[in-house]
Amino acid sequence: MKALMFRKFGGPEVLEYGEVAAPVIGPDEILVRMQAIGLNYADIYRRKGNYHLAGEPPYILGYEGAGIVEEMGADVRGIRIGDRIAFADVPFANAELTAVPFEKAIPLPESISYTEAASVLLQGLTAHYLTHDSYAVKKNDVVLVHAAAGGVGQLLVQIVKLLGGNVIGITSSDEKAAAAKEAGAAKVFLYKDDWKRHVLEETNGKGVNVVYESVGSTLQDSFAATRIGGTVVFYGMAGGDPAPVDPRMLMDTSKTLTGGDLWNVLTSRAERITRSGELFRWMEEGKVKVTDPALFALRDGQEAHKYLESRKSTGKILLIP
């Protein structure tokens, strides 16, 4: 089968498209012919060597996608050849075929396309747990969303509104600000401006109830924009490592710093199906909309990685085998 792989850590140029052996499934696995594969910042971190990778090169990236069941292990029940499934946490997805453990296979409704599923699952489930588990958004909460035009950002904006909160977004350009407003942000400010001052003015000097912080290097500024007793949820570092946080500041201001990892939440097939089912239902009802993704052929993975790292993208980037 064909796959996108790399043999050494580095920039997008280390990626190569070529032939590798097809996976051999175990008794509890499903062989899926991929139709759409999600590209995420975690793929960038792994390609650069920021995240630990098991095994030996060549490495295959990709953890999210959707496709058609081609073969089933002997112990798999409740799934048939030809079924449509999606997943959010299965490695080696940047290939024509992926071995998916049964417990991680999420049934895909006919109303949700392969590209929609690959666009929404990882980022949508992330936005779901951030707004339900890391900090449970309440009615009338004022919520600051970093990178509000990104994949997770746009979904956060929509889900916060569904839960009764009000969103202030931060983006890097006027074009991205328009996308964040389209998603439902009441106000959007730009990173190049004095956004902390604008946020405080917008909240009558109090600050927001919660900040969803995905940039990393802006962590201290996020605390400055948070009200006494407020919360900063740290879940990414697309803009660089955060500066250390002084626990005395947390004590003096009664503020909370919390982090979260999706894999600590998706601990069972029941969790995956329940949470993804809610996302799919919101999509079917038109309450959550997924912007049209940017599509790249799997063989053009270098270009897709460059585009994601350029910070010019709004919404999802997909690789199509």
Which 8-state DSSP code applies to residue 149?
A: T
Which residues of the chain are in CATH 3.90.180.10 domains? 2-120+266-320
Peptide bond into 12 cis (omega under 30): no
| C-alpha torsion sign, points 39, 237, 256, 259 | positive
Report the percentage of the chain scoring pLDDT > 70: 99
pLDDT digits (tens, 9 = 90+) for 193-206: 999 999 999 999 99
All residues at 6 or more sequence positions from 90 whose CB lies less than 8 Å from its CB, including other chains: 63, 64, 65, 98, 99, 100, 101, 104
- 266-296 burial, b if ≥16 CB within 10 A, otherwise e? beeeeebeebbebbbebbeeeebebbebbeb
Instruction: List the structure tokens of 108.
Output: 């895909």
pLDDT digits (tens, 9 = 90+) for 92-102: 999 999 999 99
Which 8-state DSSP code applies to residue 205?
A: T
Provide the pLDDT for residue 260. Answer: 80
Q: What is the largest CA-CA distance in the chain?
A: 62
Do 233 and 213 touch, CB atoms closer than 8 A? Answer: yes
pLDDT-derived band at 41 (thresholds 50, 70, 90) equals: confident
What CA–CA distance (Å, rounded) separates 170 from 189?
5
Q: Is the pLDDT of residue 116 over 90?
A: yes
What CA–CA distance (Å, rounded) separates 134 from 270?
20
Mean pLDDT (the chain, rounded): 94
Provide the pLDDT for residue 52. Answer: 74
Which residues of the chain are in CATH 3.40.50.720 domains? 139-259
All residues at 6 or more sequence positions from 194 whose CB lies less than 8 Å from its CB, including other chains: none
pLDDT digits (tens, 9 = 90+) for 268-299: 999 999 999 999 999 999 999 988 899 999 99
Q: Angle 174-183/151-162 helices, nearest 10 degrees? A: 30
Residue owning tokens 């062989």: 31
For residue 317, the SS3 value is: strand
Work out the number of other CB atoms within 10 angstroms of the CB of residue 303. Answer: 13
Q: Which CATH architecture has domain 2-120+266-320?
A: Alpha-Beta Complex (3.90)
pLDDT-derived band at 50 (thresholds 50, 70, 90) equals: confident
Provide the pLDDT for residue 227. Answer: 98
Residue owning tokens 């990709």: 62
- 195-223 burial, b if ≥16 CB within 10 A, otherwise e? bbebbbebbeeebbbbbbbbbbebbebbb
Instruction: List the structure tokens of 309.
Output: 């790292």
Provide the pLDDT for residue 222. Answer: 97
Beta-bridge mates of residue 168: 144, 187
pLDDT digits (tens, 9 = 90+) for 219-244: 999 999 999 999 999 998 878 889 99
What CA–CA distance (Å, rounded) separates 120 from 134?
19
pLDDT-derived band at 139 (thresholds 50, 70, 90) equals: very high
Provide the pLDDT for residue 15. Answer: 97
C-alpha closest to that of 131 among 98, 45, 123: 123
For residue 167, the SS3 value is: strand
Residue owning tokens 């939440």: 265
Domain 139-259 = CATH 3.30.300.10 = no
What CA–CA distance (Å, rounded) separates 169 from 199?
9
Q: Break the chain down into helix, strand, coil percent, rounded to 5.
A: 35, 25, 40
Work out the number of other CB atoms within 10 angstroms of the CB of residue 260. Answer: 16
Do 132 and 271 touch, CB atoms closer than 8 A? Answer: no
Provide the pLDDT for residue 151. Answer: 84
